[in-house]
A and B are shown apart, each in its own frame.
Chain A
Amino acid sequence: MTERGAEQQGYLEDFEKLTARTSSNGGAWVADLRNRAMGRFRSLGFPSTRDEEWKYTSVEAVRKAALRIADPPRPDAVRSPDPFAADGWDRYELPFPGAGNGAGGARSDGVFIGPLAEAVGAHLPWVESHLGRHAGYEDHAFRALNTAFMEDGAAVGLDPGRTLDKPVHLAFLAPPGEARNRIAHPRTLVVVGAGSRLTLVETYAGSCADTCCTNAVTEIVLEEDAVLDHYRLLRQGEKAFHIGTVQVHQARNSRYRSHSVTSGGAITRVEINARLDGEGADCQLQGLYVAGGRQHVDSRTVIEHAKPHGTSRELYKGVLNDRARAVFNGKIVVHEEAQKTDARQSNKNLMLSRDAEIDSKPQLEILADDVRCSHGTTIGQLEEDELFYLRSRGLNQAVARKLLVHGFASEILDGIAIEFLKDGLTAQVFSELEA
């Protein structure tokens, strides 16, 4: 058996079990999608650092770990406690793994919030028209795997003109302690109809005893004038790997605002890609990554302006301590047709240790001639002037440093409009640096 064959063996066995189990759900198109994606994974194999897209992030440990999917997720599955759950926070909540059919969420006139399997089984038309159509897996082994194995996850669909009274919270939690060498492939589809508004909170948390991996894909479709506020918050255990893709498709005058906050985890890679495929679409990406120890965090974004008059604003900030390593790769593509595009991108890094490392790579690809685009990267340390100013007011060095780091990160954290999330998140994010 070839090396690739050996490393794929477990995935093939799992895939056979899964297809046998799920064949009755959803019809031929789902089975077809799975098979094509699995075929793609078989020929791609896991990426290596020789692959330009994975140059700075090695997934050797995932490849070698012979990870297996868990038994079918059960509605009564035991889950880790949710660090993002706050008392008094009113929301539609779906906890994973194993949110069963009929569980949680809402199914009412023009609104569906529920498990993906239920949405597939119910033959909801928007599911078939969008699931697997946006997050391309042809050149991406992890998205191919997720597509082949998609089972547990959520579907959220709003017909035109709907506004939800509260946010939707998808809480992805690793099973507690005993799970070993597991990989999970949570899959989410969100379709916001014309003129509808939604606030979506995806959280990923929990730890595992040894190598485990969450390989998540979220597809988002915003129809004309739709508005989505999207929070994607990560708080995974020290041995956890997290590979995630958010793929956004934006129609005319739609607005997408993303707040992505990453802390914890051994290796984390989050890709957020938005295609502005209608005139006047607006995309705002805000990100914060905080890493210490030997953590590795890779943030990749692609904003693709395909039609005129689009605007995009991107700000990613990073705080790195100890021997942590971060990668920022932000690409803005402006197609020939996308005149009058206004795109700005910025990546700012605060290095708290001499041994920390950042690879920041902003990229502009502009094919139109009447556009306004800018990008910039800064990498700096705490300012001595600022530290001295705070100390001269009686604050000791540790407190002064902490205030300055918080001040640096607040530009992102202050953008979190859900107060119930903000305080807890701030505390979690910074516990990383104090450990």
Chain B
Amino acid sequence: MLEVRNLHARVEGKAILRGIDLAVGAGEVHAIMGPNGSGKSTLAQVLAGRDTYEVTAGEVLYKGRDLLGMAPELRAVEGMFLGFQYPVEIPGLNSLYFLRAAVNAVRTHRGEEELDAVDFMALAQEKMKAVEMGEDLLRRPVNAGFSGGEKKRAEIFQMTMLEPALAILDETDSGLDIDALKVVAHGINLFRRPERAIILVTHYQRLLDYVVPDFVHVIQNGRLVKSGGKDLARQLEDSGYSWVEEEAGEGSDLGERGPAA
């Protein structure tokens, strides 16, 4: 589904991603964990096509095609979804109108017929139930005045409406109380299918109690420094990131600290 090879990216001259390698297959759930500033959100944004970040080396294949050459909207209609860490509020833009336009953009690209207002509403009502989202939120402008928890639920709701093949969820668990976390996790679990893949970007392990990953990767200084199964997440929770840092510190930076530095 997704293959990231030696991905380097920088913003305003500062290197953030410094050689990411990652392969994600259909049906898999990957968790990418790391401390603040490790580059995990940058990775999510680069994969979704944010042009604030400049890719300086490496390549990404999505369904065998060159992802980095695709516009963000093409990535989306081709089945990629980014759940934002901080979903933007857009006062004045009606949620229903926006989401129907998005759903129909995806459907048109797939060669399916557009949904009319009635069919769209029926689908939306069904999907909203799964994330226990009040219908009134749909009548409001996009994310405007939503609480933190409402924004995250709305992201998961959008994901289930757009039915992507690859969902990248950036800190979807942050700012949620335990009840909201369970609801969001339930929504993600309902979404899991053998033909879909999910990348969970998170700081904490607790989401992974409810959405059990197949693989866990630790990101540090713009590199994936350790990979393992779901138990790795628990180890991190118990011992923090420092032991990984120490382990990874053994020589991993030497390549760049050559004589020229």
Give me the interface of A with B, judged by CB distance under 8 Å. 383-386, 388-397, 399-400, 403-404, 406-411
Contacts and interface: CB of A to CB of B under 8 A. Distances in A.
Interface stretch (B33-41, B71-79, B128-136, B214-222): B71-79
A397 B90 contact: no
Contact of A393 (B52, B91, B141, B162): B162
Contacts of A389: 84, 87-88, 90
A406 B91 CA distance: 10
Contacts of B73: 391-397, 400
B82 A392 contact: yes
Contacts of A383: 88
Nearest to B84: A389
B105 A394 contact: yes
B29 interface: no
A388 B92 contact: no
A406 B101 contact: no
Most buried by A among B49, B73, B98, B162: B73
Interface in B31-80: 48-52, 71-73, 75-77
B98 A388 contact: no
Contact of A390 (B48, B49, B98, B141): B98
B158 interface: yes
A387 to B, nearest CB: 9
B92 A410 contact: yes
Interface residues of B, number: 31
B90 A388 contact: no
Contacts of A407: 90-93, 141
B106 interface: yes
B109 interface: yes
Interface string B100-138: 011001100100000000000000000000000000000
18 contacts: A388-B49, A389-B84, A389-B87, A392-B49, A392-B81, A392-B82, A393-B98, A393-B105, A393-B162, A394-B77, A397-B73, A399-B101, A399-B105, A400-B73, A403-B98, A403-B101, A407-B93, A411-B92
Contacts of A406: 92-93
A408 B77 CA distance: 26
Given A389-B90, A395-B102, A399-B101, 12 more contacts: A384-B52, A388-B51, A390-B90, A390-B98, A392-B72, A392-B82, A393-B98, A393-B99, A394-B106, A403-B98, A403-B101, A409-B92
A384 B105 CA distance: 20
Given A384-B52, A406-B92, A407-B90, A391 B162 contact: no
Contact of A404 (B48, B52, B72, B93): B93
Nearest to B51: A388
A396 B76 CA distance: 10
Nearest to B76: A394
Q: Closest 4 A-B residue pairs measured CB to CB?
A: A407-B92, A407-B93, A394-B76, A394-B105
A406 B81 CA distance: 25
Contacts of B87: 389
Given A388-B72, A389-B84, A399-B101, A394 B90 contact: no
B97 to A, nearest CB: 8
Contacts of A404: 90, 93
Nearest to A412: B92
A371 to B, nearest CB: 29
A393 B76 contact: yes
A276 B238 CA distance: 69
A265 to B, nearest CB: 25
Interface string B158-173: 1000100000000000
Contacts of B158: 393
Contacts of B82: 392
Contacts of B75: 392
B71 A403 contact: no
A386 B93 CA distance: 11
B71 A391 contact: yes
A392 B52 CA distance: 14
A389 B97 CA distance: 15
A83 B105 CA distance: 31
Contact of A394 (B50, B52, B91, B109): B109
Nearest to A411: B92
A349 to B, nearest CB: 15
Contacts of A400: 73
B157 to A, nearest CB: 12
A310 B88 CA distance: 37
A59 B72 CA distance: 47
A394 B98 CA distance: 11
Nearest to B72: A391
A7 to B, nearest CB: 45
A395 B158 CA distance: 14
A227 to B, nearest CB: 27
A409 B105 CA distance: 23
A371 B97 CA distance: 41
A403 B88 contact: no
A409 B109 CA distance: 29
A411 B91 CA distance: 9
Given A403-B98, A407-B93, A395 B88 contact: no
Contacts of A384: 52
Contact of A391 (B76, B109, B141): B76
Nearest to A389: B88
A124 to B, nearest CB: 44
Nearest to A399: B101
A393 B109 CA distance: 13
Nearest to A383: B88
Nearest to A408: B92
A40 to B, nearest CB: 44
A399 B81 CA distance: 18
A396 B73 CA distance: 6
